[in-house]
Amino acid sequence: MAEFTMELNDEQREVRDWLHGFAADVIRPAAAEWDEREETPWPVIQEAAKVGIYSLDFYAQQYFDATGLGIPMAMEELFWGDAGIALSIVGTGLAAVGVLANGTEEQIGTWIPQMYGDPTDVKVAAFCSSEPDAGSDVASLRTRAVYDEAKDEWVINGTKTWATNGGIANVHVVVASVDPELGSKGHASFIVPPGTPGLSQGQKFKKHGIRASHTAEVVLDHVRVPGSCLLGGKEKLDERLARAREKAKAAGGERVKNAAMATFEASRPAVGAMAVGTARAAYEVALDYARTREQFGRAIIDNQGVAFQLADMRTQIDAARLLVWRASWMAVNGKPFTAAEGSMSKLFASETAKKVTAQAIQILGGNGYTREYPVERMHRDSAIYTIFEGTSEIQRLVIARTLAGMPIR
């Protein structure tokens, strides 16, 4: 087990500086254009693929970093560049992780390369879980998958929403219920291959922020996929369902819900790191502005009202990073989140991003409210962190119930 440390080693610093350079030289110059266009920034994704950032190998190396700091470090630097473009770059990773976590070796080898494509023909993938009536309440999915034994096919029907890359993806990973009575334990994940009949893009959302990231509904109308597209295989699924039914009888179903919530808890520090990156970017713009902007014959940073705001902003960002790194280290090293540390990190970092970006606008005054300066965009982008991967209200609920020793519903 790696010791917890706030010091990056030489290799980590090299990777951080490399990512920072890409964010500064490639992502930032393109940020305003793609935010206005509200389109997937394919040229930027292709550049990321050429240098090796948009690839499974890169994210696998960071994920298996024994210190736990690889992923949060990478997320912070990319999202420091721009949240919308960064989400377009890392969004495929959600689907890839779903396959890595649940798929067989054959499924991993077959489908993950198709998610990324290659530098000359980049592809994206989509992870489809949320539904119009099932966001935070993961046990309430209505999308159904029914096995057609005669044809060895699964028939999937339902509508997914808030899917990053939904409808434009080469490969979709869809979570569906195969046994509604088991709640979240009755879910399974399926690969929907490219060009499968019945899958279509529904509404594409015009969003307040992260507008360079494609977000849409995915409609599944009698989608048929081969039995081999069930992640993990049917034998493994049948065994898991049998165990879940026994546990549901013994525990009244409560443990079924707890297990699902624990899965989400482990992934939340990465979102916290994204929020830290956006907050840091806004703080740096505000700090530079305060040093150079003069009013009444002196730089505005010489005014205590501005200086104290900057002091609070920096303190909150550093505190958020510390919570994110602690939770990331715990997750990689198998330390249980006995106080919901994953939710703590996501809650504090996301709220910090909203607060810091708003303070940055205030420091820039009228300039901050215009699109001539990036803090306006950063403030719009920051709003998503308190919503996706569990709202701030859900994080507080998880933390409170964990501390009280109560079931997480």
Active site residues: 389
> Which stretch of DSSP H or E encloses residue 102?
helix 92-102
Q: Are 374 and 31 in contact (CB under 8 A)?
A: yes
Burial class (CB in 10 A: 0-12, 13-18, 19+), 18: middle
Q: Amino acid letter at 213?
A: S
Q: How far apart are CA 56 and CA 116, in angstroms?
A: 8
Tokens 């709640």 found at: 183
Beta strands 199-204 and 215-226 are: antiparallel
Q: Amino acid letter at 195?
A: G
Q: Are 184 and 259 in contact (CB under 8 A)?
A: yes
Q: How far apart are CA 401 and CA 257, in angstroms?
A: 13
What helix, strand, coil percent values describe the chain, rounded to 5?
A: 60, 15, 25
Instruction: Look up residue 398 and give its two tokens.
Output: 């998880």
Region for 165 from its dihedrals, namely left if φ exceeds 0, alpha if ψ lies in -120 to 50, beta otherwise: left
Beta strands 153-164 and 187-192 are: unpaired
Instruction: Look up residue 292 and give its two tokens.
Output: 């150079």
Q: Are 114 and 96 in contact (CB under 8 A)?
A: no
Q: Are 408 and 261 in contact (CB under 8 A)?
A: yes
List of E strands, 165-258: 171-177, 187-192, 199-204, 215-226
CA atoms within 13 A on the CB side of 77: 21
